[in-house]
Structure 1
Amino acid sequence: MHNAELYQKSNTMQKRDAQQCLEEYAKKIKWKNDGDTIIDIGCGDGSVTSSILKKFLPYNYKRLVGCDISERMVQFANEHHATEHTSFAVLDIEGNLPDQMRENFDHAFSFYTLHWIKHQETAFTNIYRLLAKGGDCLLIFLGHMPVFDVYRILARSARWSYWLRDVDRFVSPYHDSQDPEKEIKRIMTTIGFTSVEVKCTQKSFIYTSVEALKKAVNAVNPFRMPAELQEDFLEDYVKIVRDMQLIDHVNNNINHVNIRTNYNLLIVFGKK
């Protein structure tokens, strides 16, 4: 989960969804005539911040800050994507905010980050505190996702129960929710957000090889385990995916497969 090079090569689904979300919702964002300050929460390796988000910003934006809890990710992002007006910093959106960041941003974005956070009210409160008055946020994160079911199945096995003993810490808070839109809207309006919109949309992504699936899973694997166990872990992961009948052989060709991932993506907009 801290391997920036691997994540950069294996986050195709995340990049696609960020692009589609911005195409649909960018028109809701009110840009200032004298330039805006923007924060991207959970920027990872910085590639989404620099190659996707930046394309939707006005030419005269003042400052773009990508932040992530991982020091290694932030270091990689600064080395590969920092410019005169774009920088990257370490920040735990579930922790204490530095004073200099409070009420310092006109717009907050976050792509594929908030489902990793257990204390949702803390995270949303901190996003609210990052925004200047009149600021807004656009956030996308996972609701129900088969990968979380696979994690839980592996956690019940004798072989992986030790390494996945904190499995529920890494399952989206909305994976089992019957009405995630209502839950999120309640949290945000209680904090003080206005014009809150929450949309749960069904998405699908297809991996065209087992190896592509392994790389994608490994890129976001949150469980700490010895390096020598990782390939066995991925092999067992694929076995469960096969048992769940998510792997289709194309034209009955054993070497040509489609691995279907159907999931719910939560898209959230709100103003301060």
Structure 2
Amino acid sequence: MNNAELYEKNNTLQKRDALQCLQEYEKKIKWKNFDTIIDIGCGDGGVTTEVLKKFIPSNYKKVIGVDISEKMVQFANEHHGDKRTVFRVMDVENTLPKDFRETFDHAFSFYTLHWIRDQERALSNIYELLTDGGDCLLIFLGHMPVFDIFRQLSRCSKWHPWLKNVDRFISPYHHSQDPEKDVRRTMAKIGYRDIDVQCKRMLCTYKTPEECKKAVAAVNPFKVPKELEDEFLEDYMDIVVDMRFVDEVNNNINHSVHVSAGYTLIVAFARK
């Protein structure tokens, strides 16, 4: 997940879901003059500047994107930074920078929180980032077939050495019977108000197996040796076929192979 160039070219799913959620929740966000905004888990900076900033009024004070990856932050500053848009290294599961506390009028996070084990710590930190009356919009994965595939690969002797900590990278809500209730309870315990949590059934579709492999490679959290990456992705796709996520499409024009799977997207909106 440190290859910014690869992620930039293969994150259409993340951009699509971020756009849809911003469109749905834009009327709930209370914009003021000279707002300060943070995007948590900004990655290469593309979603921050190409999607999020389209919804931010032009009189904002500053947008700060943060990510745990130094390589992602460097890429984001080089390709998307400007006088009012900067990117910094930050781990939302760890100690916050002192100058970030109670600083932001709005906090956003797209496709990041499912990588975090200590959900209460992360959500508490987001609460601490906000000014009084500030709001947050967070979207992250619940149940996702990718996690099941990673688990299957981890049981294979060939891949176990690199996937032995597989549970560290599976959404805490992957097997939850009621993720809405789980997230709402945690946010209420922290002190959030006006809490709105929804689980949305979504579908991801890739036009070709190769497109699917690139999308997986862009977010693969495991440090598989570079010389084995292609073989790893081939084995990944073998499981995709076994799980019947591959559809052959025949029509009068051509024959194509699509990869599609359903997943659960958790959307949480709340105020401080």
So what's the TM-score if we normalise by structure 1?
Answer: 0.98
The residue that corresponds to 1:38 in the other structure is 37
Q: Which amino acid aligns with 1:74?
A: V
The residue that corresponds to 1:203 in the other structure is 202
Q: Which amino acid aligns with 1:223?
A: F
The residue that corresponds to 2:240 in the other structure is 241
Q: CA deviation at 1:225?
A: 1.7
The residue that corresponds to 1:116 in the other structure is 115
The residue that corresponds to 1:189 in the other structure is 188
So what's the TM-score if we normalise by structure 2?
Answer: 0.98
CA distance in 2: counterparts of 1:223 and 1:14, whole angstroms: 20
CA distance in 1: counterparts of 2:110 and 2:261, whole angstroms: 18
The residue that corresponds to 1:160 in the other structure is 159
Which structure 1 residue ranges, 4+ long, deviate > 3 Å from structure 2? 252-255
Per-residue CA deviations over 1:181-237 (Å, capped at 9, x if unaligned) read 000001000000000010000000110111100100000000012100110000000
Q: CA deviation at 1:174?
A: 0.2
SS at match of 1:256: strand
Closer, same or farther in 2 for the Cα pair 1:155/1:198, shift >3 Å? same
The residue that corresponds to 2:169 in the other structure is 170
SS at match of 2:88: strand
CA distance in 2: counterparts of 1:199 and 1:177, whole angstroms: 14
The residue that corresponds to 1:17 in the other structure is 17
Q: CA deviation at 1:256?
A: 1.4
Q: CA deviation at 1:84?
A: 1.1
SS at match of 2:73: helix
Q: Which amino acid aligns with 2:179?
A: P
CA distance in 2: counterparts of 1:50 and 1:205, whole angstroms: 23
Q: CA deviation at 1:161?
A: 1.1
In the TM superposition, 1:55-70 aligns within 5 A as 55-70=54-69
Q: Which amino acid aligns with 1:51?
A: E
Task: Confirm whether residue 2 of structure 1 aligns to residue 2 of structure 2.
Answer: yes
Residue correspondences, number:
271
Q: CA deviation at 1:255?
A: 6.1
The residue that corresponds to 1:146 in the other structure is 145
SS at match of 1:206: strand
Closer, same or farther in 2 for the Cα pair 1:72/1:86, shift >3 Å? same
Q: Which amino acid aligns with 2:217?
A: N
The residue that corresponds to 1:107 in the other structure is 106
SS at match of 1:97: coil
Q: CA deviation at 1:143?
A: 0.2
CA RMSD of aligned residues (A): 1.1
Q: Which amino acid aligns with 1:65?
A: I
Per-residue CA deviations over 1:135-165 (Å, capped at 9, x if unaligned) read 0000000000000000001011111111100
Q: Could you list the runs of 5+ residues in structure 2 that have no partner in the other structure?
A: none
SS at match of 2:167: helix
CA distance in 2: counterparts of 1:109 and 1:91, whole angstroms: 14
Q: CA deviation at 1:254?
A: 10
Task: Confirm whether residue 256 of structure 1 aligns to residue 256 of structure 2.
Answer: yes
SS at match of 2:260: strand
SS at match of 1:184: helix
CA distance in 2: counterparts of 1:217 and 1:31, whole angstroms: 36
Q: CA deviation at 1:251?
A: 1.1
CA distance in 1: counterparts of 2:31 and 2:160, whole angstroms: 49
Task: Confirm whether residue 265 of structure 1 aligns to residue 253 of structure 2.
Answer: no
CA distance in 1: counterparts of 2:50 and 2:197, whole angstroms: 26
